[in-house]
Amino acid sequence: MPAARFLGVWVGGILATLTLIAAFNILVDPHGEFGTLLVLPDDSDINSRALKVALMRRAPEPPEALILGNSRSMQLSPTTVRALTGLRTFNASTAAGSTFDLLAFTRLALDQPRPVRTLIVGLDTFMLHPTGPMPELRRFPLVRYLPETETPLVAHLGRAARTTSISTAWLSAEQLYYLRRPRPRNFAFDLDGRIQYLPYDQWVEEGKWWSPLPFALDSVLEQYRVNFNADPEPTPQASAALKRWLGEAERARLDVFIFLPPLHSFLRTALERESRYREHLAAYHRCLQGLQGRYHFRFYDLSSVDRFGGDDRWFIDGTHMIGPNNDLVLRTILKDVHAGLHLAIR
C-alpha cells in the first residue's frame, strides 16, 4: 500500500474513532456539558456541580431561592426554606465550593426566564482562600458564567478535548451501567439538590443518632489543624469574586443572607488551642465587615451551636451538620421573613 494511502486510512480511522467517541459522550453527557439530560451526570463529589445544574434544568419551574455554599451547606433543606418564605428553593451548594461557585451559580440562576430572588449562603472561611475556580467550574455550562477566568476559545477547546477523551467515554459507560443498578454510595441527592447521607438520615428519623461518627472528630481535627494553620487572609482572587458576586446580586435586587456555618464544640475548642483558628475568624470578619458598608446583605455568625439553639449531637464529623441543626440554622436566618413575601432588607 502506498505511504500516502496508508496515512490517509490511518488518519481517517483515527477521525472516525474520535467521532464515535464524541457522539457517545455527547449522547450520555456525563459531565452535563451539552444539556442532553438523557442521563443525569455522575453524582460523585467531583461532579456535583454538573449534577446540580442538571437537576435545576429538570425542575418543572426555575427556583426563586438558591442555597449556596460548600459541602457544609449541602444538607440545608429547600423544603424548609419554602415553608418559611413561600419561595421555590434549590440547594446548589457544591463540594469544595468557593466564591467562584457563588458567582457562577448566581449568574446561571439570573439567566433563567424567571430569575432567582433570594440567596441563602453558607460562607465558610475556606471559601475565601482559593486563587481560582475548581476544574469542574471550567466546564460547560458554568464556564460561560466565568468569562473573567476562562476565555470562550479556551473553554470550547477544553470541552472538545473532554468530549473526545477515553476517560470521558469510560465515565459515560459507567453512567449507563448504573442506570438500572444501585451505585455504591454513602450519599444521594434529592431532586431539589439536597444531599442525603446514607444511612445516617434514616438513623436520625428512627431516633438512633446520638453523636458524630466514631473517630470522625479526630480525623477532621487532624485535617482542619493543617488548614487553619495556613495564612488566614482571604486571597485577592477569592475576595474579588466575592465583591463581584455581591455587586451583581445588588444590581439584580436579590435578597442575600450569609451565615458562617458552625463547628462542633470539641473541634472548635481544639482548633482554638492548636491552630490559628482565631486569626482566621478575625480575618473573615474583617472581610465581611468591610463589605457590609458597600453592599446590602444580612450576615449571621453561626460558628458555634449555641448561636442558633443547635446541639453538638447533630453533626456527622464535627463540620457537616445532620438532622435538626440544619433546620435550626435556616429558622435563625429566616426568622423575620414572612412566607410568600419578597424581603425588604434594604
As a whole number, mean pLDDT of residues 228-245 equals 97
71: its cell numbers: 459541602
Rounded-to-integer distance, Cα 29 and Cα 50, Å = 10
Q: Residue 113: is its pLDDT beyond 60? A: yes
As a whole number, mean pLDDT of residues 147-165 equals 92
Tens of pLDDT, residues 247-256: 999 999 999 9
- Could you give the C-alpha distances from 138 to 123, 303, 343, in angstroms and in order? 21, 31, 33
Under a CB-based contact definition with an 8 Å cutoff, are residues 73 and 67 in contact? yes
Instruction: pLDDT band for 182, please (50, 70, 90 cuts).
Output: confident
Strand partners of residue 315 = 321
Q: Residue 16: is its pLDDT beyond 70? A: yes
The arrangement of secondary structure in 43-145+185-333, i.e. its CATH architecture, is: 3-Layer(aba) Sandwich (3.40)
Instruction: State the Cα angle at 66 between 64 and 71, rounded to 5°.
Output: 165
Say what the pLDDT of residue 17 is.
Answer: 81
Instruction: pLDDT band for 338, please (50, 70, 90 cuts).
Output: low
Tens of pLDDT, residues 300-324: 999 999 999 999 999 999 999 999 9
Say what the pLDDT of residue 8 is.
Answer: 64
Say what the pLDDT of residue 68 is.
Answer: 98
In the sheet that 89-91 helps form, which strands lie side by side, from edge to edge? 89-91, 65-69, 118-122, 255-260, 298-301
Which residues, in sequence order, are CB contacts of 344 under 8 Å at separation 6+?
A: none
Q: Where are the domains of the chain?
A: 43-145+185-333
Question: Which residue type occupies 131?
Answer: T
Rounded-to-integer distance, Cα 268 and Cα 51, Å = 32
Rounded-to-integer distance, Cα 173 and Cα 169, Å = 6
Under a CB-based contact definition with an 8 Å cutoff, are residues 64 and 117 in contact? yes
Instruction: pLDDT band for 11, please (50, 70, 90 cuts).
Output: low
Alpha helices in 140-235, H assignment, sequence order:
152-163, 166-177, 200-205, 216-227
As a whole number, mean pLDDT of residues 145-156 equals 93
Under a CB-based contact definition with an 8 Å cutoff, are residues 70 and 319 in contact? no
Q: Residue 283: is its pLDDT beyond 70? A: yes
| Residue found by looking up cell 419551574 in the block | 61
Say what the pLDDT of residue 167 is.
Answer: 92
Would you call 164 helix, strand, or coil by DSSP? coil
Among 329, 319, 70, 73, which Cα is nearest to 213's? 319
Instruction: pLDDT band for 2, please (50, 70, 90 cuts).
Output: confident
Q: Residue 346: is its pLDDT beyond 50? A: no
Rounded-to-integer distance, Cα 197 and Cα 232, Å = 31
When the pLDDT of each residue in the chain is averaged and rounded to a whole number, the result is: 91
Say what the pLDDT of residue 178 is.
Answer: 87
| Residue found by looking up cell 430572588 in the block | 117
Tens of pLDDT, residues 87-112: 999 999 999 999 999 999 999 999 98
Q: Which of residues 285 and 18 earns the better pLDDT score?
A: 285
Instruction: pLDDT band for 340, please (50, 70, 90 cuts).
Output: very low
Instruction: pLDDT band for 345, please (50, 70, 90 cuts).
Output: very low
Say what the pLDDT of residue 343 is.
Answer: 46
38: its cell numbers: 438523557
As a whole number, mean pLDDT of residues 191-206 equals 94
Under a CB-based contact definition with an 8 Å cutoff, are residues 116 and 102 in contact? no
Among 196, 160, 210, 162, which Cα is nearest to 311's? 210
Window from 170-184, 217-231, 285-299 with minimum mean pLDDT = 170-184
As a whole number, mean pLDDT of residues 238-247 equals 98
Q: Residue 6: is its pLDDT beyond 60? A: no
> Which string of DSSP letters, residue by residue, matches 35-65?
---SSPPP-SGGGHHHHHHHHHHHSSS--SE
Under a CB-based contact definition with an 8 Å cutoff, are residues 92 and 119 in contact? no
Say what the pLDDT of residue 9 is.
Answer: 59
Say what the pLDDT of residue 18 is.
Answer: 80
Tens of pLDDT, residues 29-67: 988 899 887 888 877 655 789 999 999 988 899 999 999
Beta pairing, strands 118-122 & 89-91:
unpaired
Say what the pLDDT of residue 344 is.
Answer: 39
> Which string of DSSP letters, residue by residue, matches 263-315?
--HHHHHHHHHHSSHHHHHHHHHHHHHHHHTTS--EEEE--SGGGTT--TTSB
Strand partners of residue 119 = 66, 256
Rounded-to-integer distance, Cα 104 and Cα 100, Å = 6
Rounded-to-integer distance, Cα 216 and Cα 220, Å = 6
Rounded-to-integer distance, Cα 103 and Cα 146, Å = 8
